[in-house]
Amino acid sequence: MDEESLQEMLADEGTFKGETDESELEALVSKLKTNILIIGSGGAGNNTLTRLYKEGMNSIELLALNTDAQHLLNTPIPHRMLIGKQLTKGLGAGSEPGTGEGAAEEARVELLEACQDADIIFLTGGLGGGTGTGSLPVIARLAKEKGALTIAIVTLPFSNEGARRTRNARLGLEKLRKSADTVIVIPNDKLLQDDIMNLPLNLAFRHADEILGNAIKCMTEITSHGGLVNIDFADMRSIMDGGGVAMIGMGEGQGANRASDAVIAALTSPLLELDIAESKGALVNVTGGDDMTLQEAHEVVKEVHSKINKDARIIWGASVDSTLEHQIRVMLVVTGVKSSQILGPSSGVDDEMQNRYGIEFVH
């Protein structure tokens, strides 16, 4: 290149013509940033948000919703919304999903405004009661109206909580399945391992909240934090848009075989106790210490690929957490799970609810 051509390429202050300055790049990156909102509805949803807030999740907006004014007052989240003020007078939904649904419909305008700028909205709560079960399908529908990718992460009640809560949960899950892009289900009964069975009831529920919080934290971190191999918003949408019912597995491994041990632990996790062979897609996130190799991350993905439908779409990400010394963690989300694989036989309940509510149950 001759000197005259070089001079033409350079601006007056010695920069290349067309060079993008730092402020312009910062503005563009800020505009392209994926905006994430986490909404927790009802007692379980509020408890999960409280846990995330106390753990320092400050970079993502949290919104706590409830029909119970006292519970909401005790929730230390900066952004709170009492829904159904006219319907429930702040006294709660009384374990009636219809009341929770009505409360969300009453707050429709405020909820639409809350969802306005979000790219991904995570909804969380427990199914089986009134507020979460009734409101979450409504919120999911409104979130999708605003164009957000809508992912619900919910718990199902312990079987010993009674037939009524189980019935409410079945109905709530099917309504939520129709409203949200993907519903990740955590059955509380799957948490009943030997070390949990002997815990006092309040500690068992706290353990369920902890699992729910960890699942949400993992899901948000893979899109909001850069990693060695990134999962971006487009990747997330390709798996979760229309993903249906999903389940999550988490595992850890240490030592020489830590990668294979971690993925096997995730695949055999009590939370993922089903055949994933016919699933439609999988999202895999691998986290390790500074010594984790790319080969180990590939080993995890290869193992998942060998277990799932050959036509399923798999996306994966890998990140480094320097606090994980000689350890690898794997989170696996499997989409396209049939409802009956989670809820078990319906004993005729599905037929009755299909006739009563017009809901088509997937088996």
Amino acid at 224: S
Which residues does the annotation place in the binding site for GTP? 43-47, 130-132, 161, 165, 209
Rg of the chain in Å (alpha carbons): 23
Query: Alpha carbon 127 to chain centroid distance?
Result: 15
Q: What 8-state DSSP symbol labels residue 308?
A: S
Distances (CA, A) of 166 to 50, 96, 342: 25, 13, 12
Query: Alpha carbon 50 to chain centroid distance?
Result: 16
Name the H helices within 124-187: 131-145, 163-179
Which residues does the annotation place in the binding site? 43-47, 130-132, 161, 165, 209
Distance between CA atoms of residues 350 and 168, nearest Å: 12
Do residues 131 and 48 lie in contact, with contact meaning Cβ atoms separated by under 8 Å?
no
Q: Which tokens hold the place of 255?
A: 């030592």
Q: Which residues of 289-303 are buried (b: 16+ CB within 10 A; e: fewer)?
A: beebeeebbebbbeb
Strand ranges (DSSP E) for 195-243? none
| Tokens 């989670």, located at residue | 342
Q: Which residues neighbour 51 within 8 Å (Cβ) at sequence distance 6 or greater?
A: 209, 210, 213
Q: What 8-state DSSP symbol labels residue 10?
A: B
- The strand pairing partners of 241, in sequence order, are none
- The strand pairing partners of 91, in sequence order, are 68
